[in-house]
Amino acid sequence: MSARHRFGFCVCAALLLATVHGPVVRAATYSPVDPTQFAWQQRPGASLPLQTGFTDDTGRPVSLRDMAGTSPLILDLGYFHCPSLCGVVRADLFSALQQSGLVPGRDYSLIAASIDPAETPADAAAARQADAAEFPRLHAAAFHYLTGSQPAISALEQAVGFRARYDPRYRQFLHPSGIVFLSRDGVVSSYLLGVGYKAGDIRAAVIRARAGGIARAALPLLLLCFHFDSSTGRYTLAITKILRLMGLFTVAAILGLVLVLSHSPAKSLIPPRPGQ
């Protein structure tokens, strides 16, 4: 299945929830999950731990400092063997970057960092190869595919407010989707949460990061990456329940608006004649 088709399918089945009062997601085949526990804790103005060491897709030890200092950074946190949205998020980001007019290496660099300490440079190399085949116009030299130890991953997650948990029963990570834009010095400039990125938004975020600007926290929406199984529809069952709930809220809001308008004093739209 191509990235475009995967993206279209996952958007249709997206779990998009307000993180402040998000409902508990319940599916028939797994325990309840409170999505609010995995919302981004956005930290505009925070700094990356530049001294933290990782390994790139060639097996070479690197630090985050090696990728900073020349151009703004785009950080994508996920994992390369993710069966859910991680690949879709990366493909959607790359598609928007291709349309943005930005030049990799000159205008920005990208870090795709795995949150799974079990993944290896070989996994990162395979992901890079697959992405390069699908998006050949992007300059590979400015793209860094990293794996690392749990302490290194935790330090990076903590710096940008990313929260994840591994579920041993399903052998998947529960985590939010989104990307982080940082200045050339590794300072968090802004976030784009969920998926469905627009080239104009990407370009604006990169330009802001290049100027050292720091945006306000993004709208607190959460797109969970977890428990999707196309053969059983487990993830779809949860989505259906959320969509039904959202439909009920919409109907209630419309009824409330009708009631308010019906009890409001009527006002004539015809202006009074002179002398009246």
**Average pLDDT, integer, range 118-144:** 92
Q: Which CATH superfamily is domain 3-225 in?
A: Glutaredoxin (3.40.30.10)
Which ranges of 187-270 does DSSP label H, i.e. alpha helix?
Answer: 199-210, 234-262
> Which residue, 9, 33, 11, 21, is CA-closest to 238?
33
Structure tokens at 157: 């997650």
CA distance linking residue 100 with residue 201, whole number of Å: 9
How much is the pLDDT for 171?
83
Domain boundaries along the sequence of the chain: 3-225
pTM of the model: 0.72
Q: Is the pLDDT of residue 17 over 50?
A: no
pLDDT digits (tens, 9 = 90+) for 53-85: 999 999 999 999 999 988 999 999 999 999 888
How much is the pLDDT for 237?
40
**Average pLDDT, integer, range 152-175:** 92
How much is the pLDDT for 223?
55
By the 8 A CB rule, do 226 and 175 touch?
yes
Q: Is the pLDDT of residue 38 over 90?
A: no
Average pLDDT, the chain: 78
